[in-house]
Amino acid sequence: MTRHFLNTQDWTRAELDAVLAQAARFKRGLAGGASNGRPLEGKSIALVFFNPSLRTRTSFEIGAFQLGGHAVVLQPGKDAWPIEFDLGTVMDGEAEEHIAEVARVLSRYVDMIGVRAFPKFVDWSLDRQDRVLQGFAKYATVPVINMETITHPCQELAHAMALQERFGGTDPGSSPEQVLRGKKYVLTWTYHPKALNTAVANSALTIATRMGMDVTLLCPTPEYVLDERYMDWARANVAEQGGSLTVSHDIESAYSGADVVYAKSWGALPYFGDWEREKPIRERYRHFIVDEAKMALTRNAAFSHCLPLRRNVKATDAVMDSPACIAIGEAENRLHVQKAVMAALARGDG
């Protein structure tokens, strides 16, 4: 069976640790042995983008190049044909071809396929099926990599690596879990003028609990709690790894004593597709912005965000420009972890 990288939860801790260790070697300029130096030599990856990107597109293209491979970017509906994902559809609308052909044809040309496909933000019961990613995974005969759909596993790994670096765990042989276990981790909702994807929040909760941290999900009201699937993953991780999971709507107690503050904005799932109803609720919580006063409640916490970030909406200039902010390092780590994921998939690991 073809091995994909759709979610970190599908990979074992040992596999994730190996990817992070390889990413650290790439970052230090060590290829991990001559035979591993250019594991994509003569290989190629199709990067299929249904949504915009700065970091993901750049880091995957550069990463493939640095590993000796070649990347082809496709944007269905723009520079590639629009795709149908449902079986049985009479395709007399916009879509010119079906995922059953697209994924199998691409698999004849390339050795991996990356997919970015955000929710459509109309019906969460449909979006939570992740049909675009699952369609590629179903029909492709080469590994598929999630470049952000309803989770963002590449961001998770970059985040874990940045935290490991921050807390001094880059010594050979140390695992992120050894370094991060017992740290207080706060995933805080922040205001944004639009209702955004829950992917990074789902992912932050997943990886933070996977690393054995004491995790607080801070959000304005119960409506902003994440989908039960990801809450269940987090609870399962706590049961397996130790640590804890708390949901809080109280800013002061959540920030108090925190070692990590990770910020993200997302739309409330009960209002999915009816954002006019959610908007006035969201507007009441602009004060969830990450600022110096909140960071002062922490234990000299590291602050991060996946980027892009609207300054002085999600976090203040002072926080973004402070030594606490590790967002740029986390963004750099996207390159290293994705190279490690591509190298692992090219070798057929896992």
Q: Where do contacts with ligand CP occur on this chain (CB under 6 A)?
A: 53-56, 148, 155, 306-308
Which CB sits closer to ligand CP, 201 or 251?
A: 201
Q: Is 282 annotated as a binding residue?
A: no
- Residue 334 assigned ligand-binding role: yes
Q: Which residues are registered as beta bridge partners of 113?
A: 46, 144
User: Closer CB to ligand CP, residue 31 or residue 163?
Assistant: 163
Residue 73: CB minimum distance to ligand CP, A = 12
Q: Is 155 annotated as a binding residue?
A: yes
- Provide, rounded to whole angstroms, the least separation between the CB of residue 315 and ligand CP: 15
- Provide the minimum distance between the beta carbon of 121 and ligand CP in the complex, in angstroms, as a whole number: 16
User: Least distance (Å) from ligand CP to the CB of residue 309?
Assistant: 9
153 labeled binding residue: yes
Q: Which is nearer to ligand CP, 155 or 188 (CB)?
A: 155
Would the annotation count 53 as a binding residue?
A: yes
Q: How many CB atoms lie within 10 A of CB 126?
A: 13
From CA 189, how far away is CA 314, in angstroms rounded? 9
Question: Minimum Å distance from CB 56 to ligand CP?
Answer: 3
For residue 314, report the phi and psi dihedrals to the nearest 5 degrees: -90, -40
Q: Which is nearer to ligand CP, 255 or 303 (CB)?
A: 303
| 243 torsion bin: left (phi>0), alpha (psi -120 to 50), beta (else) | left
Here the tokens at position 346 are 């090219």
DSSP characters for 33-50? Answer: SGGGSSTTTT-EEEEEES
Residue 264 among known ligand-binding residues: yes
Min. distance of Cβ 252 from ligand CP in angstroms?
29
Q: What is the Cα gyration radius of the chain? A: 20
Token pair recorded at residue 144: 């598929």
Rounded Cα–Cα distance for residues 322 and 328 (Å): 12
When the beta carbons of 36 and 53 are compared against ligand CP, the nearer one is 53
CB of 190 to ligand CP, least distance (A): 15
- Which H or E run contains 97? strand 97-98
In Å, how far are 136, 237, 258, 335 from 329, measured between CA atoms? 31, 26, 20, 10
Has 306 been labeled as part of a binding site? yes
Q: Is residue 55 a known part of a binding site?
A: yes
By beta-carbon proximity to ligand CP, the closer residue of 56 and 298 is: 56
What's the number of CA atoms in the CB half-sphere (13 Å) around residue 223? Answer: 16
CB 297 within 8 A of CB 255: yes
| 154 annotated ligand binder | yes
Which residues lie closer than 8 Å to 343 by C-beta, 6 or more apart? 22, 36, 39, 40, 67
Is 200 or 289 the residue whose CB approaches ligand CP more closely?
Answer: 200
Smallest Cα–Cα separation from 307: which of 337, 277, 291, 330?
330
Binding residues: 53-56, 81, 116, 148, 152-155, 264, 306-307, 334
Binding residues for carbamoyl phosphate: 53-56, 81, 116, 152-155, 306-307, 334
